[in-house]
Structure formats: structure tokens, C-alpha cells
Amino acid sequence: MDNNRLLALGIPTYKRPDVAINAIQNALSTKIYDQIIISSNSNEIELDAYINNLKDEKITYHQQIKNLGMSHNYTKVIQLCDCKYLHIISDED
């Protein structure tokens, strides 16, 4: 954990690239998050392309090879967190 990084936003997602992209855009515009973590439980070409085009150092992106279920997806977000605090929102929020 990087002690200089205070707040992360975790976004576990499954087959909702448009909603995940909207959440990422909103998070970046608020400028309060030191890290934005996206864990996708599916292969989403649109989401992958969007994140790769951003090239934002705040973004940590993980894509599962296959759907491992909601619990594993949330766990992955927690494992990838490099901040003192983590706020998780569902792609349904």
C-alpha cells in the first residue's frame, strides 16, 4: 500500500461496459480518487478499448479470463487496492 494514496474507487463489473465507462468518467471528473480499480468478470472489448485509450495512471484494470462470480470479482478489487481506503460501487449503482 502506498501511504500517499488515500482513497480508491472499486468498480467490479459484468457485461455492462457502458455503465462502467460512465462510472469511470464520473470518478475521473470528481478528482477525489487516487486510484480507480475496475475488475471485469467478462471480456468486454468496448471497456478494454476505453481504458487502454485513457492511459491514466490512476486506473488499475483487471479482466477475468472467465466469469468467476460476484464474490471473486469483489475480492479482486480489494486485492488490487493500493490506497488506505476503498469505496466500492457496483456497476448497477
**In whole numbers, what is the pLDDT of the chain averaged over residues?**
92
Asked whether the predicted pLDDT for residue 1 surpasses 80, the reply is no
As a whole number of angstroms, the distance between CA 71 and CA 27 comes to 23
Alpha-carbon distance values, 39 to 3, 4, 86 (Å): 23, 23, 14
pLDDT in tens, 4-51: 899 999 999 999 999 999 999 999 999 999 999 999 998 889 999 999
The model's pLDDT over 59-85, given as tens digits with 9 standing for 90+, comes to 999 998 889 899 999 999 999 999 999
Q: How far apart are CA 15 and CA 73, in angstroms?
A: 13
